[in-house]
Amino acid sequence: MKAYGGDLRKKALNRGARPLVFRSGSMHITLRSTKAKGTASFQDSQKRNKVKSFVYDFSAKKGVKILSFANIGNHLHLHVKLQNAYLYKAWIRGLSSGLAMISMGLKGLRQLKDQKQKFWDQRPFSRLIQSFRHFLKTKSYVEVNVLEGMGIPRIEAELLIYGSKKYFKSG
């Protein structure tokens, strides 16, 4: 299995251990929260730079290399390279809790806890990237999401990144 988390966790078939990859590849991780909207959005003008610097600084501290990063507002895409399995758990826990704190603040998180709600919709979604072709596809996908996070409609962002080959067949 190359993917784990998100909607996949709902099926009993996909409830095994999260597959991780180290030296031979990288991972695409998505963190999504429907609570991150309005002033709590990751794209909020006061939070955008905090989110980006936190992701890069915390990841460097934990030995995780960020290959590409996209902030869409209510979700984040990370293309990462892990050093070892022991660091992953501490990294993802710290990253997700720090991002929730940046988004909602301590008061907002306490209100969610009192209402018995969670900030994150689901567990982080992750996909293993083990081939160069898949690496390039993931890189392009995250670039499309970066443009989409800037307010460019998805179809225009895809045209900019992928070109017209995706939409028009020649000859």
**pLDDT of the residue at 171:** 44
Instruction: For the chain, give the mean pLDDT.
Output: 82
* Residue 61's pLDDT band (cuts 50, 70, 90): very high
Average pLDDT over residues 38-46: 87
User: Residue 60's pLDDT is what?
Assistant: 93
DSSP 11: S
Of residues 99, 105, 106, the one with CA closest to residue 120:
99
Rg of the chain in Å (alpha carbons): 17
Query: What per-residue confidence (pLDDT) applies to 150?
Result: 84
Residue 100: phi and psi, rounded to 5, are -65, -40
What share of the chain has pLDDT > 70, as a percent? Answer: 81
Please report the pLDDT score of residue 12 as a whole number.
Answer: 56
Q: List CB contacts of 108: < 8 A, sequence separation 6 or more.
A: 40
Domains of the chain: 3-130 (3.30.70.1290)
